[in-house]
Amino acid sequence: MLIPRSEHAISRKQFSPNAIKVLYRLKDGGYDAYLVGGCIRDILLGIEPKDFDVVTNATPEQVKKLFRNCRLIGRRFRLAHIVFGREIIEVATMRGHHQAQDNPDPTSQSSDQGQLLRDNVYGTIEEDAQRRDFSINALYYSINDFSIRDFAGGIAAIEHRKIELIGDPETRYREDPVRMLRAVRFATKLDMTIAGPTEAPIAELAPLLGNIPAARLFEETLKLFLGGKAEANFLMLRKYGLFKQLFPALDAILDNPQSEFETTFIRKMFANTDERINADKKVTPAFIYAALLWFPLRDRCNTLTAEGMNEYDAFMQAISQILAENARHIAVPKRFTLGARDIWHIQQRLDKRGGQRAYRLSLQPRFKAGYDFLLLRVESGETDQQELANWWTDYLQQDVSGQKEMVKNLGQRSGGSERRRRRPRNKPRRKPNPES
């Protein structure tokens, strides 16, 4: 269906100037080019687009010849990135249909489960629309006549606020299981519902996420948790059995009927994350992953101490084990796992406040995150930490002299137990005088 300029409200002024430059450069080079997907969808929904994607009949190599500021990325999907400072315009070549399995093609490869491992088959705009995941993303804007091309009923899906897969849902999920995560993310982001046929196979096919590279799942979880709809995404992921594939250890804990505190903790963490993001405040993934792995860490630590290991060694070994196990599902970069480690270590040190220890701990780069983590534990129902949280809250509001007085009073109340006891130094024995 072609929607002429007179029948839609989209204007070129609503698009990135750099995206328009890319379209005209491709047009002047003799190629067809369209703005596609999320930017069209968002404008129709009254949302300001963040990314502008372009589709063309030029191959990635032909695109690179037209743009000096172009780099080619990807093996599974070959893409061209046109770099304008901090903005990147992604240019994809129109996709075509795959050949049958008995007619192998070096540009196309799929696994035994139907997952596409290589997808560099090029085709027409009509074929490209059929290869898109959801109908709301199969909308194309042309600069030739400023019309919108709708090949899969995307306009109707937007009007009915439905997330609908193009084609047979089971086949499309098997081609790329990440589409199940995308269905959840679009449903919460756009305040839409997942259509019945699109929803039906998700719970059964959720284990297919185990075939996705851990690094790619990390990127997808960032989109789920850092888009301002983290709590809603968490609840929907749990509903469809998808959360279990991402965080199996935590999911097993949350399945326990007596896990009210743990569930409250995770929901509050995500709700606070949404609140900060929607207020344009900074959020670090290190805090999110520290929270998501906190309860598996505590359980593992308790298991090791029950086996006879001392508390410190059990804590250190539990950290290494939990992070290694999680990396098999989601490859969290080291800069974030190091941050999570710091937050966990601070939890172990918060009650050791005598002498200079409180002051030195408060100077740690991750101390504020560790303090917020403690407050989250208390707010979620860990009442035995309430007094400790109150003390640190008061301490951080004092000047230096007030902080020293708080630490001094702390030592008096505890009978000086927080002060480190010095072991008496043994005096060296005098050597006996040979003459005596």
Q: Is 384 a catalytic residue?
A: no
Residue type at 398 in one-letter notation: Q
How many angstroms separate the CA atoms of 108 and 97, rounded? 10
Backbone φ/ψ region at 58: left (φ over 0), alpha (ψ -120 to 50), beta:
beta
For tokens 């609140």, name the residue.
275
Dig out the tokens for 325 from the structure.
Answer: 């196990």
Backbone φ/ψ region at 118: left (φ over 0), alpha (ψ -120 to 50), beta:
beta
Contacts (Cβ under 8 Å, ≥6 apart) of 432: none
- The H or E element containing residue 388 is helix 386-397
How many angstroms separate the CA atoms of 15 and 141, rounded? 11
Partnered with residue 163 across adjacent β-strands are 194
Tell me the longest C-alpha to C-alpha distance in the chain.
118
Residue type at 252 in one-letter notation: A
**Cα atoms in the 13 Å half-sphere on the side-chain side of 95:** 21
Residue type at 375 in one-letter notation: L
- Catalytic: which of 42, 53, 128, 150? 53
Q: Is 145 a catalytic residue?
A: no
Q: Which residues of 11-38 are buried (b: 16+ CB within 10 A; e: fewer)?
A: eeeebbebbbebbeebeeeebbbbbbbb
How many angstroms separate the CA atoms of 37 and 141, rounded? 9
CA distances from 148 to 35, 121, 131, 155 (A): 9, 24, 18, 10
Q: Is 274 a catalytic residue?
A: no
- Catalytic: which of 42, 119, 128, 133? 133
How many angstroms separate the CA atoms of 383 and 377, rounded? 8
Q: Which residues are catalytic?
A: 51, 53, 133
